Structure 1
Amino acid sequence: MRFSKLTSALSMSATDVLSTFTARSNAFSIDPSEWAFLNATLGGRLMQAIPVAQPCFSQGGGSNQTAFSDLQTHNEDHIFRSNHFGAYENTNWETCQSTGDECLLDWTDPTNPTAFATPQKCLLGNIPSYYIDISGPNDVKAAFNFANQTGIRLSIKNTGLWDGNFGSLVRLLHAQLTLNETFIPDGCSASESGMTAITIGAGQQFRTIYNFAKSNNITVVGGADPAVGASGGWVMGGGHSALSVTMGLGVDRVLEFKIVTPDGQYRTANRCQNQDLFFALRGGGGGTFGVVLESTHMASPRVTIQAVLGQYTNTRENSVQLMKALAGNAVQLATDGWGGYITPPAGAAFWANPVLNATEAKHSASGMVDAFASVNGTTTFFTLDSFSDFYDMFIDQQPDPVGRPQVIGTRLIPSDKFDDDILIEAIISGMLDSDFSQITAVTPFSFKKFNGNDTSINPAWRTAIWQGARCLRVAVQTVLSYAWNFNSTLEDRVGSYNKVTQGMSIIRERTLDAAVYFNEADVYEPDYINAFWGEDNYKKLLAIKQK
């Protein structure tokens, strides 16, 4: 589950590592006549960006009571924030963090006037100055041409969870959602047997996609955040899901990309053409190789989901005991196909299994039941008609915290490390000492990879079970996170980043060959090449990027 959406931070990390672009100017150094010409070329779709909180400030161009009230009500709503160009899910990415320029409310109380009343000013911070609402490949070509002529730095905002660049030109994308029951990738033999597939335009979000899947009696493997776009950084960074344990990651299931590369060419990338680009797009990072306008993914038949909800009273003692017990069952649960989320701050955990029947599920999850019983907790079993039902009943009812600054760090925990008591202790203590934490069982541990379907994600994904995070996250993935507020000092903000990096240090030392999901990584990950991709994949990606 994606928490303090480091998508921008991680997109930034991946892009900075592989990018060949160099910003030679910013939006304010470009003559207004040049902007006017670009706007005319685009049919009037060049927009000036403003921070989402600007209407709350009397100084900085705001003071719109209706918009102010709307933001106060929906400040922590994923979809609301993703629909505003001047907003990111975690507000540290709206801020110029080195100077403190920002336009933020008090996330603990959005009505607190101390944050927005005079003498507070609304400053642009890290929000791009202009953006283009893309309607097709010609708009992207115009953006690349403008960037080449002016030196303006470009960044891509699919649904806009994290990334921003002050003074840059950003392309905002929206598009279609279609089902094809006999899909054959472009350029492949027409004699091939087609497969059921869903084509997803950039900007389409998982909440809409899951509803579409349910109405068409199919299963789409996708993320936890309702506002995440399926054709953006999610799939190009790997793309995990509660179904990934048995059905694979997003990179395993994507069949084709339509992309405009920086040379202005509109290309199709799949296993039959532009294979090197297809490899790069399946794990190389969002916004790194061009602007993806759509992607096509395998659509499986609707599957019945066996689900388990575990609940307990969240005390430190209970959480320590419970997580130790669950760690002892982690390998067996992953082997049997369980994927899910353990969230100590909520005193809850839930899992989904698409391969077992109800009787098998209860037998398989007996260790889980015992773990919750040991802390006087409860477990409840459900049989659900579809993954969409599981999403609505569980995942969507426990959304990640948004509308606040937050720093995250994660690590994928290999299956052969669950007998390392020092590691397990470090994961648990790190999580319980952070502002928010979660373990996500979202790795493709029991997925049988398709022959010839090589991806550019770190191969260590295949042998991990937990992802843990601080935020902090474990894959298992561990997730750790720390937050601050609008009036925090620079020292406090730097301290939050340091806490995450330091909090992950023992976990890194005990899992030297492990992977990191760079969409949810510590932005100061010390060995990012090996952690994000692995040395061999990185060399291939760099060579493709330099073409």
Structure 2
Amino acid sequence: MKGTWELALIASASLAQATSTASLTAAATTVADTAVSAPSLFYNERVQLTEGVLADVSVALQNETVASMFAFASNSSSQSTATKRSVLHSCKLMPGDSWWPLDLIWDVFDLLLGGNLIKTVPLASYCYPEWPQYNSAKCAEITADWLNSDLHMADPASIMLPLYEGRSCLPSPYNYTDSCTQGAYPTYAVNVSTVAQIQLAVNFARNLNLRLVVKNTGHDFNGKASGKGALSIWTHYLKDKSYLPNFKAANGYVGPAIKFGSGIQVHEAYEYAKTLGHSVVGGEAVTVGLGGGYTAGGGHSPLSSMYGMASDQVLAMQVVLADGRFITASSTENSDVFWMLRGGGGSTIGVVTSLTVKALPQLETTTVTFNFTVNDTPGPNAFWAAVGSYLDNFESFVDAGTYGYYYIGASSMEIGTTYAGDTDYYFRMESFVAPNMSVAQTEALLAPWFNTLNSLNITYTPWYNHADNFHDAWEVAFPQEYVGTDVVKTASRLLPRNVFQSDDLRNQTWAAYKDAVNQGLFIAGFHISGTGIAVEPPTDSALLPAWRDALTHVIVGSQWNFTSSWDVIESSSLFVTEWMDVLREIAPDSGAYMSEGDLIEPNQQDAFYGANYPRLYALKQKYDPTGLFFALTAVGAEDWEVQTTDPLPYSWNNNGRLCPKSS
């Protein structure tokens, strides 16, 4: 019995003739929109792959073996030869493997995609003479913009945190070696503009046992959009949006809503909502993709203490599942998918093409920004007392619907912590956000804390910014953050209300903050709740339950230099993971936000998913039995390992072959 690729090789001559004479074109058809209770499909969602289209492809190719590579999944005994070859939970193929698709197959795939297949190269390859792309002028442009999110999100393969793709190709001075390799940047990417293209990519990857990743913008603390040898689905340009002033959702909600393509970013969502006289829940970071892993993972927001998490806002979504089929999910239609994708994490069972969310009232909003260093205080004791007074007020701040984003460390540059024992302490309030509050109301809320700062002789100058809408206040308070470096590793913990209601636990938390900084770590924290004061949280959500009782989300990080060895990275990573036991012991029944969590978090499933995990895992097996979708922190990740090629333990980054977990 000849194998799949022997058959393909035998047929290659006739296939080449077919592709040149049959005018093989994009595999898609435009279907009618039959939605009743769901929002109307965008035009790009009506351009779909169907069985009829696949039959036409088979006729044009004159090669059943190759045509079957694009078939939908089937549970019948007549499933394709290619699908049979995709052994359940076998190692994913890599370039150079004997069964890796021939160039001719990739050419056919590109034709069916309408020319939207990209053979990727590392963004910084322009800086390396051994790469064909080498161009010193282009290199200078890339290097100048390297820390800017816009550069990386506009590239089909680049991610914001290259540590997790293997530090494989960075420009000077950010590189630790003088070479450039592909690393865990995907080998190919599909720049999708239609549902049909996503379906083709999903089917192709599943049937040929390729590693598949999804990139929206590339924002992710753990590099989910990277994968060595992978095919990437790039959803960044799914930018449609539609206002639904009187939407009737399946869950009983009646009111204004907005449907967003999954490539819409936070700043675009906020801007559009403002033009309509509304607000929407989105992230603090300007360039995060609203419909990617952000919402799927729960999505915390400057509006969360008022309205809850981003996942709480979703009323319906359109999804391409692992079998290649396109569905609508709501509280009554494909309700288990709807439940899972509202807080159960991204890279799990499908690719979201759009989501419909609540359009909230337009809110006047006040933001406050300020900082102080140890030099603005009588000394270290006063500095830490000032930090403690902030923790004393967490409960009242959250119960007023506000949000605070702050940094604590020790550095003359007020970034990170320079070294263990550094006493250049700083506190930086990136922004205190008070939705539905005037400046006077915000000042009154802050008065107990600021009175304490005054009594401690702290010098600080708060800058108040007010607007009659959320977007304008947010825009000036949250500039784009730096990305592109590989010098930080973080871990996180949610701390619940009872911690701040207990003098003992609150003091333990304060002491932990101080200890972290003194040991060379830094803190990026938020006072926040996943239960908004203005609404009741939904019950049909897979969100980590610990979010509902949280008063703060604490990120603790370690750092090193651009030229640090992998040994330094490993030891630094282990140190912050182990140090976090302090916060785990303070809040043992809580958890951690998966999208900003520790890649090597102990008891990961419980920490990121809590009591929801057994059901999430069962649904993962139901909807994605071959493990097509994978990420190192996603549901089902424990079944797989990345056989890391860098000198790190397995699954510490995405730079390696993806295989079933070793027994």
1:261 aligns with 2:321: yes
Asked if the contact 1:457–1:532 (Cα under 8 Å) also holds between the matched residues in 2, the reply is: no
Contact 1:221 1:241 in 2 (8 A): yes
The aligned counterpart of 1:104 is 170
Who is 2:93 aligned against?
Answer: 25
Q: Distance in 1 between matches of 2:586 and 2:228?
A: 38
Deviates further, 451-460 or 271-280: 451-460
The one of 98, 106, 110 aligned to 1:35: 106
CA distance in structure 1 between the aligned counterparts of 2:149 and 2:453, rounded to whole angstroms: 31
Q: What residue is the counterpart of 1:215 in the other structure? A: 275
Q: Is residue 307–residue 535 contact of structure 2 (8 Å, CA) maintained in 1?
A: no
Q: Which amino acid aligns with 2:450?
A: V
CA distance in 2, matches of 1:135, 1:125: 27
Alignment of 1:348-427 (within 5 A): 348-349=428-429, 350-373=431-454, 374=456, 375-396=458-479, 399-418=481-500, 419=503, 420=505, 421-427=507-513
Using the alignment, how far apart are the partners of 2:560 and 2:449 within structure 1? 31
Find 1:541's aligned residue among 616, 636, 647. 616
Distance 1:81 1:36, change over 3 A: same
- Matched residues in 2 for 1:460 and 1:268: separation? 28
Verify: 1:91 aligned to 2:162, yes or no.
yes
Deviation at 1:88, TM superposition (A): 1.2
Change beyond 3 A, Cα 1:271–1:541: same
CA contact (8 A) 1:279 1:456 kept: yes
Partner residue of 2:231 out of 169, 173, 189: 169
Post-superposition offset of 1:507 = 0.8
- Partners of 2:521 and 2:133 in 1: how far apart? 32
The answer on 1:249 being equivalent to 2:332 is no
Of 124, 128, 131, the match for 2:189: 131
Deviation at 1:291, TM superposition (A): 0.7
For this pair of structures, how many residues does the alignment match? 499
CA contact (8 A) 2:116 2:190 kept: yes
Contact 2:305 2:529 survives alignment (8 Å):
yes
Q: Which residue of 2 aligns with 1:339?
A: 403
Q: Could you tell me how far apart the structure 2 residues matched to 1:279 and 1:104 are?
A: 39
- Does 1:497 find its partner at 2:586? no
State how far apart, in whole Å, the 1-side matches of 2:143 and 2:374 are. Answer: 29
Equivalents in 2 of 1:468, 1:277: separation in Å?
A: 30
Q: Which residue of 2 aligns with 1:460?
A: 546
Distance change >3 Å, CA 62–CA 177, structure 1 → 2: same
Which whole-Å CA distance do the structure 2 matches of 1:326 and 1:74 have between them? 36
Deviations 1:99-128 (A, max 9, x none): xxx11234xx45xxx867xxx221011101
Distance, in Å, in 2 between the alignment partners of 1:62 and 1:361 is: 53
- Secondary structure of the residue aligned to 2:290 is coil
Are 1:225 and 2:225 matched, yes or no? Answer: no
Q: Distance in 1 between matches of 2:538 and 2:531?
A: 18
Amino acid at match of 2:485: G
| Contact map agreement 2:312 2:538 (CA 8 A) in 1 | no
Paired residue for 1:10? none
Judged with a 3 Å threshold, the aligned counterparts in structure 2 of structure 1 residues 71 and 452 are, in CA distance, closer, same or farther, namely closer
Once the 2 structures are TM-superposed, how far is the Cα of residue 427 of structure 1 from its aligned partner?
Answer: 2.7
Q: Which has the larger radius of gyration?
A: 2
Q: Distance in 1 between matches of 2:374 and 2:127?
A: 37
Give the 5 Å matches for 1:143-154: 143-154=201-212
Shift in Å at residue 201 of structure 1?
1.1
Do residues 68 (structure 1) and 139 (structure 2) align? yes
After TM superposition, the score normalised by the length of structure 1 is 0.86
Distance 1:523 1:352 in 2: 29
Task: Give the AA of the match of 2:559.
Answer: Y
Deviation at 1:306, TM superposition (A): 2.5
CA contact (8 A) 1:410 1:467 kept: yes
Q: Tell me which amino acid in the other structure corresponds to 1:415.
A: R
C-alpha displacement of 1:436: 4.4
Q: Offset at 1:319?
A: 4.6
One-letter code aligned to 1:261: L
Partner secondary structure for residue 263 of structure 2 = coil
Amino acid at match of 1:499: F
**AA of the residue aligned to 1:540:** R
Distance 1:511 1:351, change over 3 A: same
Amino acid at match of 1:83: A
* Structure 1 position 193, deviation (Å): 7.0
CA distance in 1, matches of 2:538, 2:388: 38
User: Is the Cα–Cα contact under 8 Å of residues 308 and 537 in structure 2 kept in the other structure?
Assistant: no
Measure the CA separation in 2 of the matches of 1:193 and 1:452: 11
The percent of aligned pairs where both chains have the same amino acid is: 25
Query: Which segments of 5 or more consecutive residues in structure 2 lack a partner in the other structure?
Result: 1-87, 409-413, 416-426, 623-663
Structure 1 residue 509, shift from structure 2 partner: 1.5
Deviation at 1:55, TM superposition (A): 0.4
Q: Deviations over 1:376-397 (max 9, x none)?
A: 2233433322221222211126
Structure 1: tracts of 5 or more residues without a match: 1-19, 97-101, 472-480
Aligned equivalent of 2:56: none
Q: 2:253 and 2:290 mapped to 1: Cα distance?
A: 25
**CA positional deviation for 1:60:** 3.2
Could you tell me how far 1:456 is from its partner in structure 2?
Answer: 0.8
1:432-466 Cα shifts (integer Å, max 9, x gaps): 64564311123224435547542111111111111
1:314, distance to aligned residue in structure 2 (A):
5.0
8 Å CA contact 1:236–1:284 kept in 2: the answer is: yes
Shift of 1:541: 0.8
CA distance in 2, matches of 1:505, 1:525: 10
Q: Is the 8 A contact 1:239 1:250 kept in 2?
A: yes
Distance in 1 between the 2:518 and 2:490 partners?
Answer: 14
Distance between the aligned counterparts of 2:405 and 2:610, measured in 1?
26
The C-alpha deviation readout for 1:104-156, integer Å capped at 9, x for no partner, is: 234xx45xxx867xxx2210111011111112221122112212321111111
* TM-score, scaled relative to structure 2: 0.71
Q: 1:122 aligns with which of 155, 174, 180?
A: 180
Q: 2: CA distance between counterparts of 1:427 and 1:22?
A: 44
Is the alpha carbon distance of 1:428 and 1:391 closer, same or farther for their aligned partners in structure 2, counting shifts above 3 Å? farther
The answer (yes or no) to whether the contact 2:513–2:523 under 8 Å persists in 1 is no
User: Which letter maps to 1:482?
Assistant: Q
- The equivalences for 1:262-301 within 5 A come to 262-301=322-361
1:221 is displaced (CA, Å) by 1.2
- Among residues 570, 579, 599, which one is paired with 1:523 in the alignment? 599
Contact 2:147 2:482 in 1 (8 A): no
Change (3 A) 1:86 1:155: closer
What is the deviation of 1:361? Answer: 2.5
Question: Which residue identity is paired with 2:498?
Answer: D
